[in-house]
């Protein structure tokens, strides 16, 4: 039997390519582990690296009234990190130009002002036409009960050990509040 070559049936191969592209475009994330973003230093870092951990995802900013929450974020991270907990900071400049710096400036600010040791990713957009896919997932698909646009800096999403979003805390709820600590401790107990 004779082999069929691309040149003889170019439409066949084009149709196959379109099917593959369509399948890729319709792919929906099933957890935060499906995302990879660069850290402040530009190195790519997959959220799959946090499989099995309880994760608090927070959009942060350096010039916000809530910026002092960095202290509570760091102390909460230090308290629970050895139990399988991590905080992931995502700087965003979506609200009143409160994160105008470069990734290098943000990193220096976090280290010098708040001694941040938890992972901080490169600056992204958390809403609007240029919203990062992770935040599109968090605000629309991850948990319909917690869906909705990010209203301001320091919105927090608690993710269980299986990559599922289980709680959302608005900016005024501090990372060391009884609500957040109780939810973290409950998620840590769930193996």
Residues catalogued as catalytic: 64
Q: Rounded to whole angstroms, how far apart are CA atoms 186 and 190?
A: 7
Mapping DSSP onto H, E and C, the string for 109-154 reads: HHHHHHCCCCCEECCECCCCCCCCHHHHHHHHHCCHHHCCCCCCCC
Judge contact between 156 and 172, C-beta under 8 A: no
- Of 65, 76, 84, the residue nearest 117 (C-alpha): 76
């Amino acid at each position: 039997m004779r082999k069929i070559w691309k040149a003889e049936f170019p439409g066949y191969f084009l149709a196959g390519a379109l099917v593959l592209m369509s399948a890729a475009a319709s792919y929906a994330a099933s957890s935060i582990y499906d995302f990879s973003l660069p850290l402040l230093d530009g190195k790519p870092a997959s959220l799959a690296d946090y499989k099995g951990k309880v994760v608090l995802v927070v959009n942060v900013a350096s010039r916000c009234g809530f910026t002092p929450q960095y202290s509570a974020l760091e102390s909460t991270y230090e308290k629970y990190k050895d139990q399988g907990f991590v905080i992931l900071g995502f700087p965003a400049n979506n609200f009143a130009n409160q994160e105008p710096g470069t990734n290098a400036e943000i990193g220096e600010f976090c280290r010098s002002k708040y001694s941040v040791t938890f992972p901080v990713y490169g600056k992204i957009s958390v809403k609007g036409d240029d919203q990062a896919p992770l935040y599109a997932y968090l605000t629309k698909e991850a948990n319909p009960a917690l869906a909705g646009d990010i209203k301001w800096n320091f919105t927090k999403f608690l993710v269980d050990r299986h990559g599922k979003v289980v709680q959302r805390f608005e900016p005024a709820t501090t990372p060391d509040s009884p609500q957040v600590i109780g939810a973290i401790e409950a998620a840590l107990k769930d193996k």
